């Protein structure tokens, strides 16, 4: 339902169309046009700027005061780094850690092989 150019009566004290005073025009069952106040919306939690600043899926987009009142299940995801990082970033960290450990093992093995070769040459 699109209603254009309809004059409406604001129900609160502020009568200007400001960012914090947005309204929606609604038709009542008695066929009158009334104003319904629309609250601000939140962008929701994001990953840190250094990691891409992407929205974290599965977490409610709440304003600060609502966030304080919200239940824990609305604010996290049951996973390591649940409310802080996306699943892609967690996966990337796990793979990176694994590859670094593998690299350390390979270095140790090569170092041990080098010592064996040196020991054989000297005899």
3-state DSSP of 69-100: HCCHHHHCCCCCCCCCCCHHHHHHHHHHHHHH
Give the per-residue pLDDT at 5.
Answer: 65
pTM over 0.85: no
- Are the C-beta atoms of 54 and 44 separated by less than 8 Å? no
pLDDT of residue 121: 66
pLDDT truncated to tens, each residue of the chain (123 aa)? 555 667 888 999 999 999 999 999 999 999 888 999 999 999 999 999 999 999 999 999 999 999 999 999 999 999 999 999 999 999 999 999 999 999 999 999 999 998 888 877 665
Domain membership of residue 8 as a residue range:
1-40
- Distance between CA atoms of 86 and 46, rounded to whole angstroms? 9
End-to-end CA distance of the chain: 94
For the chain, the residue count is: 123
Looking at the domain assignment, is residue 66 inside a domain? no
Reference 44, options 28, 55, 29, 33; nearest CA is 55
Detail the DSSP E strand segments found in 1-123: 23-27, 33-37
What residues does 24 pair with on adjacent strands? 36
Structural domains in the chain (count): 1
Q: How far apart are CA 106 and CA 118, in angstroms?
A: 18
For residue 55, being part of any structural domain is answered with no
In a domain, 7, yes or no: yes
């Amino acid at each position: 339902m699109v209603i254009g150019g309809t004059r409406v009566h604001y129900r609160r004290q502020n009568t200007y169309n400001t960012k914090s005073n947005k309204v929606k025009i609604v038709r009542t069952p008695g066929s009158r046009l009334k104003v319904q106040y629309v609250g601000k919306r939140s962008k929701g939690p994001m990953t840190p700027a250094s990691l891409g600043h992407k929205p974290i899926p599965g977490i409610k987009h709440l304003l600060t005061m609502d966030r304080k009142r919200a239940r824990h299940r609305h604010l996290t995801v049951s996973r390591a780094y649940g409310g802080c990082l996306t699943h892609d970033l967690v996966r990337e960290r796990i793979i990176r850690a694994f590859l670094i450990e593998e690299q350390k093992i390979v270095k140790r093995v090569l170092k041990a092989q080098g010592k064996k070769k040196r020991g054989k040459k000297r005899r």
